[in-house]
Chain A
Amino acid sequence: QVQLQESGPGLVKPSETLSLTCAVSGYSISSGYYWGWIRQPPGKGLEWIGSIYHSGSTYYNPSLKSRVTISVDTSKNQFSLKLSSVTAADTAVYYCARGGVLSPLVWFDPWGQGTLVTVSS
């Protein structure tokens, strides 16, 4: 059974970089699939941030592309999100999830439980 678990600081200061990691268990990332990050600001809908293939190729939401970096570490079986120059608008619950086998244009399943990141000084 594939499981994903997000981790990282729950509080980030404005203008700094948000960094989160998604640990994957029950499946080896190096075997395939796209892996994605999604977020949900309080009281708002979900927003796709981006996806990465096990080989490292990435797809980002154009609305965040200039500030986002997603990377994969197959040796640790995890992938990571970095979002730079954060503001209060980046306060959200951040989720990681598994995407498609061969294409990033597929549903996500399964998902992690999410982690709340608050941007505040």
Chain B
Amino acid sequence: ETTLTQSPAFMSATPGDKVNISCKASQDIDDDMNWYQQKPGEAAIFIIQEATTLVPGIPPRFSGSGYGTDFTLTINNIESEDAAYYFCLQHDNFPLTFGGGTKVEIK
């Protein structure tokens, strides 16, 4: 089983900041990493597929990087509407596993 270690668990940012969220895999998963945004009571939104591909309709201030075991979700010029819970998902092998999540607060 691939364990995903996501950090930080919580972060507070100011509008305009650049934010990085890390997801480290316990084994090589190529580029089989995905990122989601979720707000309370709402369905999760798919924002990055296969490590680096921005899902259509997602603002370009979101970007993903990484390969193998180390992955990063970056939010440039963060906006107040980006306050949410972010999590990663690997689909390289069974069982599918998720990172522990990051709550992003906007000051």
Could you tell me the distance in whole angstroms from the C-beta of A54 to the nearest C-beta in chain B?
Answer: 19
Q: Give the residues from 37 to 95 in chain B that come closer than 8 angstroms, CB to CB, to chain A.
A: 41-44, 46, 49, 55, 87, 89, 91-95
Q: Indicate if A106 sits at the interface (CB-CB under 8 A).
A: yes
Could you tell me the distance in whole angstroms from the C-beta of A119 to the nearest C-beta in chain B?
Answer: 21
How many of B's residues come within 8 Å of A, CB to CB? Answer: 23
Q: Indicate if A30 sits at the interface (CB-CB under 8 A).
A: no
Q: Using a CB–CB distance below 8 Å, which chain A residues touch chain B?
A: 4, 38, 44-48, 59, 61-63, 95, 97, 100, 104-114
- Of A4, A95, A108, most buried by chain B (CB within 10 Å of CB) is A108
Interface of B (DSSP majority class)? loop
Residue from the list B89, B95, B97 in contact with A108, Cβ < 8 A: B89
Q: Chain A residues near B98 (CB, 8 Å)?
A: 38, 45-48
CA of A63 to CA of B36 in the docked complex: distance in angstroms?
24
CA of A61 to CA of B95 in the docked complex: distance in angstroms?
5
Query: In the bound complex, do residue B89 and residue A107 qualify as a contact, i.e. CB atoms below 8 Å apart?
Result: yes
Residue from the list A48, A59, A107 in contact with B46, Cβ < 8 A: A107
* Residue contacts A-B, CB under 8 angstroms, 15 given: A4-B43, A38-B98, A44-B100, A45-B87, A45-B100, A46-B87, A59-B94, A61-B95, A61-B96, A62-B94, A106-B91, A107-B89, A107-B91, A108-B46, A111-B36
